[in-house]
Structure 1
Amino acid sequence: MATVLVQQHTLHHSTPPPSPLPAALNVNRRPSPVPNKHIPVCPTGPSPAENSTLESTIPKSFPEQPSSLLYPPDPYVRISRGPSPAVFAIDAETLAAALSHAASQPMADPAQMFPWLHGLHPDNHLQLGFFSTRKRASRRTPRCYRGITVVKLGGDLSKARIKGAVCPSEVISPSSRFLLADPPEGFSVRNFQIQTAKLAAMSDIVIYAEDGTSKSELLALAEDFSLAQQAWRMKHDSAQERPTYNTFVVTSSFAEFEKKCPNIVAIDAKGQATGQVMDFFQWERSEMCSMSRASEISANVWLGPTPDYLLRPGLCEPSKEDDYDLWIEASDLASIPGPRFLGMVDKQLEEGPQRMEFPSSGSIVLPSGNTREVEDLVNTIRWIYYLANPDEPAEIPDHEGDTAIAHTERKPRKVFIHCADGYTESSLLAVAYFMFAEGVPAHEAWLRLHCEKKRNFFAYPTDVAFLSHIQSRLLEESPVSHSVDTSSMWDPQWFLKIDGSLPSRILPYLYLGNLHHANNPELLTELGIKRVLSIGEPVSWSDEERAAWGNDNLMYIHNVQDNGIDPLWPEIDRCLEFIEQGKHDGCATLVHCRVGVSRSASICIAEVMATKGLSFPRAYCFVRARRLNVIIQPHLRFVYELLQWEELQMKKRNVSMKRELEWSNVAREIALLNKPYSRG
């Protein structure tokens, strides 16, 4: 899968900020690695044999097609202009009731929907061959699905958006035919982007518009959709074996939706999110900010995300907690400040809060002969320390004629190290500062920041190499580590094996990671992880390591590959029981697969759904935010099964079954979330 760099947000202010400072002195650096956040490649594993049969363990007591308040359309007034195509009228309250009813209907057995949902274009021999579906009958459209697709005339979804609404161009062509969504080439089990178009043809279509829109335009679009339904039926259901799908036009104004049915209004007429409909982007941002909220990592030095009022000026106000004296933003475009620049900032701090930048994580390489950049980095960290701890005697050397910084008696400065998400760009500076301020080597800083300070952070392999290289210099200069003998310092084996990242802490007792994490049992022990759940990928441990952990603390699920075919459902309860036992014993469990984004991520989502009572969309965003830079990628079938597992959880809690979002909406939102990180 392709990846791209996450766009760096420019800071904006709703109140006049301090005067911008001149750029820091330039140093020899390379650009930040691509990407900062990325979609990893997930090996699919083998396809089941041609003659094998995979029986679903999900109960098959579902009707062939769920009931719908829109079928049959007899109660609705027909408003089309001629004998055909048929178009019916519907009001706001009836649509709201129909959507609510649809959300309470059980989803079809995945064995009936897959592999069709993966996308089986007749010319895509790679996709067809993998799923062993060369026979035409096996590609037949399922008869067990009936949805509701809400379409907004004009396609502007930035305002006046009803829950689940899509643009006409997402589902229909200019020639009044449903789009052929299946990719004609390539292979993927994560074709989330095709689900809206695939399922629109098997749905009743409801079309609405903003207030003041021409009624004739609305009816014309409705007739185009009705023609598309007729054409689809002729091609895919010429024997008329399934009930018809129909097209409806909303006769109510959008103002009536806002007044009578606010629970299905996602964005109001002014373009403001209502909070009534779950929004993946907003919920992921909320979870990310909750996970990485600002906290003090050392005396008077804080680490956290850039506040929303800076990222989105005018939409929110500064918090009373944002009373920092010095704001240091980690940025891909920044250079290491020199002494002259620091002296300027030091002087301007007397006038009020100041801003400056520092290079982001992953952007500084080991020096080749010239140590000026190392000296500037150490000098910057020392300067920050004495701002935060002015009682300590400060001796900051002058470099090549630059003015030395002299400290006099003054109050401690409150320093805030920040970046957009609170951890990606800022981890290098945060770890380096912690090493200096606390007088600890790199490996101890890694553990203490994570375990003691409860910070989740993400470092690159280059960060590990760089910090290991300069740690003796930092500790020599540290005011609290004068007794450390840096000449005999060594890094433990577990630290030599890490690539910069730690397993992701999803819950206090639950970690999500990859096979590389799992094969570092010393690291797991240091993190307090005492149980390992391996989904489809066994660990490569020695007999001694296995014996030390005990067989009861290791579980291997051997029959789930990431191939879009193997079901996860039969294993969920067994996996969660294993995690629960660890929680009961007071120890954490690592759940892993090969990459830590699909099979193991799905199990972690199920655990979050079960323990926190969250819907699938909210649990998905919860885990996604805490997986840090590696974007979770459960494939289509796993997501579908987790939505069904959500139904089961509601039954267990004796709650009326009602999905927060429908399958096609969930798939569309996941595709949009991933789009910034994909090319092509």
Structure 2
Amino acid sequence: MATICATRPALTTDQKAPSQLSINTSQAGTPRAIPHKHLPYCSPGPRPFDSPPASPPSPSQSIETTSLTYPPNGYDKISTEPPVYAITAERLSQAIDHLATQPLPAPQQVFPWLHGLHAENHLQSAFFVARKKALRRTPKCLRALTIVKAGGDLTRSKLKGAIAPEEILAPSPAARDRKSEEAAEFLDPDPRDGFSVRNFQIQACKMATISDIVVYRDDKTPREEAERLARRLARAQAAWQKRSDGFIPGARHFNTFIVSDDYDFIETDRPELVALDSEGCITGKVTDFFHHERVEMCTMSAPSEISHNVWLGPTPDATLAAETPLCSQANLADFDVMIEATDLAQVPDNKAFQILDELLRQKAKAGLSENAIPQLEFPGSGAIMPPTWSQAEVDGLLATCEWLHQQAHGHPFEQRRRDSKLSLAGEVDTDGDSIMQAADSDKSGKRILIHCADGYTESSLLALAYYMYAEYAPVHEAWLQLHREKRRNFFAYGSDVALLRAIQPRILQASPKHCGDLTQLCPPVPEWIDKMDGSLPSRILDYMYLGNLGHANNPGLLRELGIGQILSVGEPVLWSRQTEMWPKDKVLFVDHVQDNGVDPLTEEFPRCLQFIENGRRNGTKTLVHCRVGVSRSATICIAEVMNELGLSFPRAYCFVRARRLNVIIQPHLRFTYELLKWEEFQCQKRGKPLRRELEWASVAREVAAMNKPYSRQG
């Protein structure tokens, strides 16, 4: 029997942090993966035999990053061999702020080095550099600032961009030996084998090798430990420099510092530096990708009414209520019944509904707490699989729809059923209809929330089935009406399409709005639904959708969604001859852009965004797609969000990522870097001073940590 409970678990308002190698906002200790999200495979395309086209000459090509920590003039030296300097919290804040205002070098100055070019990885090296060994050299234009926390506990007292020592230092071969400090070395970040254009996980370590390094400690870490770590890092810097550039007597390009102020002073006097306070709670002073994605997810899928008294939305989260006004408009206490869709649930039976009815009667008679909300669990989308579904599963689905409708409409009597199998009443008359029985129902009806973690995946099957039942809508109309009229973004599996199409006659016949005309139970099915895998293209903005090649090759679906333009990035549609419906000026094909980490995309931003804007002015929506809809086309969509909404790259990335529904966007390293450069252009265009919220190493580290729960290795 399905799980039933009377109250929801208490929701905490503290935002604690997990271990140092994961996103630092999850209350459970690791980031909670969004159900059914996955990292699709993106083919890099053919090996680029020719060099990528050169970017137009610009001042950015000759940029060399400057730093307030180099040369270390004016800093007190607290150790001579190796040299370690002291830095105050104030000067650290100034150094971080200065770095955030420095334009980044042009992409061609730092790639392919940032991809990771290990000397023994012949596959990666052959793809990117072939015989051009000069491309393997460390760029001289880059200079970063790496902050390391002594002790390595990043679940509390975390400064902006801080990492743990073990993320960049190789393990000491003999930690018990004091001489182990002498042998301190950086990890070699470049992968020894395999091929990837998405090595986000190595960027913090790569940038540490070209960084001035700042060590700090919290109030639980002895100063001696911090000083010992600083000396190890200084020796690792010297060893790396000798290994990379050869030994140059007296030359020292990168330096190590230790924060002289105590952490409690930093937290009080320099709050702009603090990402997590001493209690492990988010301060809101530093952008956190995972937390911001949750906010965007909740905002996108905020509860809304899809039928009378029946709402659809995400599982209520008190920790996000203050940041998501749309969600706070439908508070937990506003609902009388909660239906949670989850993969672990079983289809409810009559006994489950009887228990719920009793709980509702007790609550009406003040037998339950005001805060007690009866709950029911229902199987998530994709859980009832064709062709092996059982009759009991289908009966349970329809019985759930009937019970929800009765509660939502506050019927004083139970509905008369033509199909006795679906009746919740115990007796039937001679015609097979249920005998009407008095019920203790509120005539105004009860408010019901159908919910799941993300607000759109696991709940989609039940929401679609109920909408068909309550509104007497066939499958294809339910899909479109929920998306267009009810403004719901949702994802359903192809198996959900097959199931609902198979049982559509039963759902429509059981509908309270069915007038008895059997000819209406099997309306004509449009061609577009036969090509549909269950998913709709993702609505990023009202005038811009993000999808895959399958969506682009379903013109009937696009027409129903009001999409009149197609922007194809590297992947042409297959039906371009249908020019009557799609004039040539409504299709833009961006050629010669593979997902290979080599082909640039920045040069295409202006004409792509102008194409989208032209459609918007004409009241036409645009579908942006590549093959999978997660890298090339996602990059264009992020660029448009930054351009239209004025968001920084981290915020625009989370905005699009939350709205891409069942798959995770993953622009590769070069596209991500190009978008950070696009942010610089946006600041210039708006006459605003450049000030990045996060530096490259932190951006890459956050992306890697966000994706880790979904990766095969994670």
When normalised by structure 2's length, the TM-score is 0.87
* Deviation digits for residues 308-350 of structure 1 (CA, Å, limit 9, x no counterpart): 13999xxx99987322111000011111111222122122211
What's the C-alpha RMSD, in Å, of the aligned pairs?
A: 2.3
Shift of 1:467: 0.7
Q: Which letter maps to 1:365? A: M
SS at match of 1:206: strand
Residue in structure 2 matched with residue 556 of structure 1 by the alignment: 589
Superposition map of 1:196-215 within 5 A: 196-215=204-223
Aligned length: 646
Is residue 58–residue 109 contact of structure 1 (8 Å, CA) maintained in 2? Answer: no
Structure 1: stretches of 5+ with no match in the other structure = 1-9, 16-33
Residue in structure 1 matched with residue 180 of structure 2 by the alignment: none
Residue in structure 1 matched with residue 351 of structure 2 by the alignment: 340
Residue in structure 2 matched with residue 71 of structure 1 by the alignment: 70
Residue 392 of structure 2 corresponds to residue 372 of structure 1: yes
Shift of 1:54: 3.1
Residue in structure 1 matched with residue 106 of structure 2 by the alignment: 109
Residue 467 of structure 2 corresponds to residue 434 of structure 1: yes
Residue in structure 1 matched with residue 415 of structure 2 by the alignment: 394
| Cα pair distance change 1:406/1:223, threshold 3 Å | farther
* Deviation digits for residues 469-519 of structure 1 (CA, Å, limit 9, x no counterpart): 111100001011324624542321101111000000000000000000000
* Deviation digits for residues 96-141 of structure 1 (CA, Å, limit 9, x no counterpart): 0000000101101111111111111111111112113344332111
| Cα pair distance change 1:59/1:298, threshold 3 Å | same
SS at match of 1:181: coil
Distance in 1 between the 2:164 and 2:631 partners?
A: 30
Residue 503 of structure 2 corresponds to residue 492 of structure 1: no
Superposition map of 1:402-413 within 5 A: 403=426, 406=437, 408=439, 410-411=442-443, 412-413=445-446
Is residue 264–residue 277 contact of structure 1 (8 Å, CA) maintained in 2? Answer: yes
Distance in 1 between the 2:123 and 2:9 partners?
A: 48
Residue in structure 2 matched with residue 644 of structure 1 by the alignment: 677
Distance in 2 between the 1:47 and 1:656 partners?
A: 39
Distance in 1 between the 2:101 and 2:234 partners?
A: 26
Distance in 2 between the 1:635 and 1:320 partners?
A: 38
Is residue 309–residue 448 contact of structure 2 (8 Å, CA) maintained in 1? Answer: yes
Is residue 563–residue 621 contact of structure 2 (8 Å, CA) maintained in 1? Answer: yes
Structure 2: stretches of 5+ with no match in the other structure = 1-6, 13-33, 173-183, 364-372, 428-435
Distance in 2 between the 1:255 and 1:488 partners?
A: 70
Shift of 1:524: 0.5
Residue in structure 1 matched with residue 48 of structure 2 by the alignment: 48
Shift of 1:573: 0.8
Superposition map of 1:120-159 within 5 A: 120-159=117-156
Distance in 2 between the 1:534 and 1:564 partners?
A: 18
Is residue 414–residue 425 contact of structure 2 (8 Å, CA) maintained in 1? Answer: no
* Deviation digits for residues 145-194 of structure 1 (CA, Å, limit 9, x no counterpart): 00000000111111111100000000111341111011111111000000
Is residue 267–residue 274 contact of structure 1 (8 Å, CA) maintained in 2? Answer: yes
Shift of 1:619: 0.0
2:232 to 220, 224, 227: 224
Residue 274 of structure 2 corresponds to residue 265 of structure 1: yes
Residue in structure 1 matched with residue 331 of structure 2 by the alignment: 321
Is residue 56–residue 110 contact of structure 1 (8 Å, CA) maintained in 2? Answer: no
Q: Which letter maps to 2:404? A: I
Shift of 1:53: 5.0
| Cα pair distance change 1:364/1:406, threshold 3 Å | farther
| Cα pair distance change 1:565/1:332, threshold 3 Å | same
Shift of 1:383: 1.1
2:559 to 525, 543, 555: 525
Q: Which letter maps to 2:201? A: Q
Distance in 2 between the 1:571 and 1:45 partners?
A: 19
Distance in 1 between the 2:336 and 2:421 partners?
A: 24
Distance in 2 between the 1:663 and 1:631 partners?
A: 20
Residue in structure 2 matched with residue 21 of structure 1 by the alignment: none
Is residue 133–residue 139 contact of structure 1 (8 Å, CA) maintained in 2? Answer: no
Is residue 61–residue 109 contact of structure 2 (8 Å, CA) maintained in 1? Answer: no
Residue in structure 2 matched with residue 3 of structure 1 by the alignment: none
| Cα pair distance change 1:401/1:640, threshold 3 Å | closer
Distance in 1 between the 2:329 and 2:513 partners?
A: 34
Is residue 13–residue 310 contact of structure 1 (8 Å, CA) maintained in 2? Answer: no
Is residue 156–residue 281 contact of structure 2 (8 Å, CA) maintained in 1? Answer: yes
Is residue 340–residue 402 contact of structure 1 (8 Å, CA) maintained in 2? Answer: no
Residue 85 of structure 2 corresponds to residue 93 of structure 1: no
Residue 626 of structure 2 corresponds to residue 593 of structure 1: yes
Distance in 2 between the 1:400 and 1:491 partners?
A: 29
SS at match of 2:465: helix
1:245 to 233, 254, 270: 254
Residue in structure 1 matched with residue 290 of structure 2 by the alignment: 281
SS at match of 1:349: helix
Is residue 535–residue 560 contact of structure 1 (8 Å, CA) maintained in 2? Answer: yes
Residue in structure 1 matched with residue 16 of structure 2 by the alignment: none
SS at match of 2:318: helix
When normalised by structure 1's length, the TM-score is 0.91
Distance in 1 between the 2:548 and 2:52 partners?
A: 30
Give identity over the alignment, percent.
Answer: 52
Is residue 366–residue 469 contact of structure 1 (8 Å, CA) maintained in 2? Answer: no
| Cα pair distance change 1:58/1:573, threshold 3 Å | farther
Distance in 2 between the 1:658 and 1:484 partners?
A: 65
Shift of 1:13: 2.1
Residue in structure 2 matched with residue 233 of structure 1 by the alignment: 241
2:162 to 165, 187, 202: 165
Distance in 1 between the 2:319 and 2:466 partners?
A: 24
Distance in 2 between the 1:673 and 1:380 partners?
A: 36
